Structure 1
Amino acid sequence: MRVLAALSGGVDSAVAAARAVDAGHDVVGVHMALSRDRAQLRSGSRGCCSIEDAGDARRAADVLGIPYYVWDLSERFEDTVVADFLAEYEAGRTPNPCVRCNEHIKFDALLDKALALGFDAVCTGHYAAAGTDDAGAPVLRRAADRAKDQSYVLAVMGPTRLSRAMFPLGDVVSKDVVRAEAAARGLSVSAKPDSYDICFVADGDTRGFLRDRLGSRPGEVVDADGTVLGAHDGAYGFTVGQRKGLQLGRPAPDGRPRYVLAIEPVNNRVVVGAAEDLDVDRVEATDAVWFGDPPQDWVDCRLQVRAHGAAVPAQARATAGGGVEIAVSGPLRGVAAGQSAVLYGGPDDATVLGQGTVARAGRTAARNTDAGARA
């Protein structure tokens, strides 16, 4: 097959491309330039897609003996991933930019361009397993290395685009194996630090990034009864479940920590309360993507709402208008609107059934702490 290998400049994508070459595919490497600032530099292990990363990707392609190109997708990235990030936080929700990047960039803009140029598939260094079931339908599964598994952020791509994706690192048992393989192949990125946090917030200061883009908007921090406890300079800088950085002027009456329960963007208020007020047993999600027929009746599954969070027992069913209704039977706390709700099933609960974007979360009984009930 003709394969377009996305080379980020890191060790994972380099080894994935190398494995695609070893498999006999006709491989071409491409680095996605996502920053409008051509002088952007990487800050240690923070950020990615910098000018240094482009150079590392080129060197990896040279070692592998494959053609190499740089595609400028910065405008598309700014107009989709960054714009969505800002709009979601401004609306009091908590987005996952990695999910949106996979949705709009890697498996939309990049894949569409690859297919238009005659490539059969896109290869990336994601830790996930792509295959087919007994009927030949595309299946997305967790990676062998559960600690590095990225199926959560890939579930949004759906079965059609999954059929055009290759994840050669799905069977790797640890990152140490990848680094050792890179070193053995003579790839200079073998010891390069992993990137983490949000790639376009290279200094790791998400609240500062939001303040720079959205401006200062002072408001109140209140408890569930409306009592003013403190102040903030932008409700967009908070997320449901947050404990640190609340800057409250007084402790709770019982002396226990307070957590963010809700963000009210219209009133510009942040509501805080006790940890147990974050417990949920129901989740509603929109914009569902299914890897199979949408279940009309309740199906047993496991629900994951954070990229590196635990999956808890649940039941789910499709709802009218492309939504998902989820009844949670395991312990789940601090679910924010805007997060991805990914459902897993199969004999070992490692197969992605579908996903949606959280619209509301709360409790069937007791006082409601609805993540979507925001003014």
Structure 2
Amino acid sequence: MKIASFERMKQLVENGKYVDAELESRNMITENPSHFAGYLCLAYLNFASENFSEAAHNLEQALLYNQNIVECYQLGVMIYDRLGEKKRVIELARFGLTLDHEEADFYAALAKYEVDSIKDKAALYETALAYAPKRLDIMGSLAFCLFQMDKTSKRVLALQNTALTADPLFEPNLVYFAKISYARGDFEAAREFTRKLCVIEPSNGEYQALYNQAWATKNPFWSLYERVRLFGKRISLMRRIVLVSVYILIFALLTNWIGYLAVLMWIIPLLVVVVAILSQTERKEKLTRQDRKNRYLRLPLAIILLMLLAFPAGVRTVSTLADWMTPNSLKNKYPITEPFEKQIHPFEQKEFPLKLQK
């Protein structure tokens, strides 16, 4: 049921007539101090003015006089969401559902604050979207949850396209889709989403961090490193084991074929890792957990492994080059002596190229 005074208040606020809205709300309270409508209207005005503490106070007054108005719970969920009072949001959403089980805001609030499981969150957002199929914020939240459950889900792309078609500059969805695109390895799309966010609100720290993360992939080494890392996160553990096993098998086969030079299969990726991580050390923003793992775990480990592999490989390479550059006549005249255990006649005297001078 629509409340006429509340609907009129919303129209006044949407038209920017805040003074008229406040005057009308206070007149309603003066005329009937024990009626909820005046307090509800004033709470909405306070919320629109971002005076959330005063909005919460007036909302509680409205609930004190009438606990059966759905609009009170809808507004209450929004107010306490902005105040960060999760427990109160859950209380209002749960009671609101007893009055109107088709209100999408209540399901969305419970998905955000009450449940921890991604699967449960997705189920609640699905229900919310079923009752409000045009709600862009719910589309974005559902898409993000579904992506966390299954990074190959086609439904995510469908929701993204629908939401962007309706409003390509809706900020919450741009944040979700930037994160999804980056996690998919679609760095170009991530850069475009973050660019739009920074144009909309240049001073937002979260937007700047997302922008810097996405645009860092313009570096080819970092882009390659991130693509491989994110690909490993997208596939199952079994597929990762299979891929690593195949790589090791190829290395073993190449070792038999070309010898120690096959170690380049490990040296080149390690070089890419080192160069990629070093290229990001000049970034000045606050280090994330992933940044710390890269700098303080993966980088030192890659350098140590590279040194262990590169030194023998270098010696072997120099030896191979020296052997290749040595003339055949010199090799025939001064053959390399085989190990003792492999010689056919180990005690046979051989002529040495240099004679001792008396």
**Normalised-by-shorter TM-score class:** under 0.3
Task: Name the structure, 1 or 2, with higher relative contact order (CA <8 Å, separation 6+).
Answer: 1
**How high is the TM-score relative to the length of structure 2?**
0.22
**How high is the TM-score relative to the length of structure 1?**
0.22
> Who wins on radius of gyration, i.e. which is larger?
2
Structure (1/2) with the larger helix percentage: 2
Structure (1/2) with the larger strand percentage: 1
